[in-house]
Structures are given as structure tokens and as C-alpha cells.
Chains A and B, each alone.
Chain A
Amino acid sequence: MSGVRAVHPWAEKPMEMFISESGARLALLMNPTGQVFAQHGFTRAVDVMAAAALGAAIVSSTAEITKMLREPSFSMLNHQGPTHGVFLSAFESPSGPMVLLVIYGRESSLGLVHLFFEEFVNELNEANPAPVSSEPVLAADFERELNQSLASLFQD
């Protein structure tokens, strides 16, 4: 059984390929507001919510730094620890901007993650349907939608 859980079916296969090829331990596909579309490796909803919020915050804060520097946006960020690396990258898709957060161990490397990330973006953009008209998020719907997404990401 695949370890990838996706809210949208089109995200599942590209994520599976990416995980299999890059050897990543954890991965989270979301939009810059932290809304999660697919995940691999997380076992608890609270961890997904925390990682999504922190990843989105990092993307947002680095975007502000680049604005201050009058530079184009960062394409990727990497933090290399002694046993794990954290890779974070924002990219454009037919459904709008997306963010991929990846945690990898010593069995993988930044080079592998970066290499297969580029292929992942291409495959995701091919699989991704045309943009859907975005509706404003209403406070009344927020919790229901969040719960639906989490149920999709952690269903058996």
C-alpha cells in the first residue's frame, strides 16, 4: 500500500514517484497558506498541521526578506542537520502557488531531493487539472473543510 495520502487524487502519483526516487522520509504538499494537499510519512494529524503552519510561515517570511532585498523569490531553502535535512521549495502550478516540504535522512541527499523535486513539479503540473475558481474561505466552512482534509490525509 502506498504511504502517500492525498486530498486530491492528481497529487498522489507524482508524490509516490518523488518519495520512491528521492528516498525522502516525510513530505508535505501544500499551498502557501498551509492548506495541505498530500502527505507522506506523517502519522498524526497534529504533526501535519504543525509542519504545514511552520513551512508556510518560513515561505512567507523568506518572501518578505526577498522583497526587502528587491530580489526575485528564493526558489528553495535547505537546512542540513547531522542526521536529517529539511528542504522547502515554493513553485507555480495550474492551481496556483504550491509548497513542498521534505524531510530526508542520510540515505538520501540534497542533490537527490533537488533532482527529483524538479521532476515532481513537472509531473504534478501535468497531472494537475486546469485551475478551479477559488472561492473565498469562510470562517463557517473553515473547520469543516479542515476536518475533511485531515480525514482524507489519515483515512485507513
Chain B
Amino acid sequence: MTHQLQGVLDVLTRVRGVQGAMFVARDDGLVIAETLMEGVRGKALAALAASVFGKFTWVSGTAKAGEPRFLHMQCTEGAVLVLATNQDVLVVIVTDTNTNVGLVRLEMLRAGEVFA
């Protein structure tokens, strides 16, 4: 399973501009598998991304919009994308500023199917 997950993440990181990809346990914020560029703190990113996703679940619930499926956090020097899979797993991606987010999202959906 670990090899399979790593293979799926490798495919994600081949998309231009993607600097890192990881599977994160939604409830725990712990890393399941990761492929990150040097300098990105995987454990911190996993814990904080899961926490933000959890907080956003409150927001979407308050807005009566249902469960969040996809978060796009555009930052000055890149973006953080989070996608919830059917299981309690998040796909977390770090990109630079010139990434085709639509393409990355499609690849994230494909990657999430590994947990279907």
C-alpha cells in the first residue's frame, strides 16, 4: 500500500509547478505518505492543513453548504490545495504561482480514488 501511495504522489508531483504532495489523516493531521521539496516541513503542513480543513468544515456547516470538498488557498508565492477523499484522508498539494490549478485538481481527484 505504501508503494502504491508513493506512486500516486509521484504522479501528482510531475504536474508542472507542484512542489509537494501528501496524504494526510483528516482527524489526526498526521502524514500518511508524502513527496515534498526540501525545506517544506511535512509534519507541520499536514497538521495545519488538516486543522484549517476542520475549521472550514465549521464555516461551510454554518453557511449550510454541506461538507467542504476542496480548499484552494492562494498565497503570494504559491498555493496550498486540499481535497477530501471519500475516506478520512486529505490530499494536500503545495504549488508555485504559475500552476494550472484545474489540472492539479483533476490529478488530485484521481489520486483520491486510491482510497475509494
Contact = CB atoms under 8 A, between A and B. Distances in A.
Which secondary structure dominates where chain A touches chain B?
Answer: helix
Contacts of A136: none
A115 B50 CA distance: 12
B113 interface: no
B46 interface: yes
A115 B28 CA distance: 11
Most chain B C-beta atoms within 10 Å of own C-beta, residue among A80, A111, A114, A115 = A111
A110 B44 contact: no
Contacts of A80: 28
Tier of interface size on chain B: 10 to 19
Nearest to A108: B51
Interface string A91-111: 000000000000000011111
B72 interface: no
B43 A109 contact: no
A110 B46 CA distance: 11
A114 B43 contact: yes
Nearest to A80: B28
A109 to B, nearest CB: 4
A41 B31 CA distance: 29
Contacts of A115: 29, 43-44, 47-48
Contacts of A114: 30, 43, 47
Interface in A112-149: 112, 114-115
Contacts of B29: 109-112, 115
Nearest to B41: A115
Interface in B13-29: 24-25, 27-29
Interface of B: 24-25, 27-30, 43-44, 46-48, 50-51, 54
- The 7 A-B pairs with the shortest beta carbon distances in the complex, nearest first, are A111-B29, A111-B47, A109-B29, A115-B47, A110-B28, A112-B47, A111-B30
22 contacts: A108-B51, A109-B29, A109-B47, A109-B50, A109-B51, A110-B28, A110-B29, A111-B29, A111-B30, A111-B47, A111-B50, A111-B51, A112-B47, A112-B48, A112-B51, A114-B30, A114-B43, A114-B47, A115-B43, A115-B44, A115-B47, A115-B48
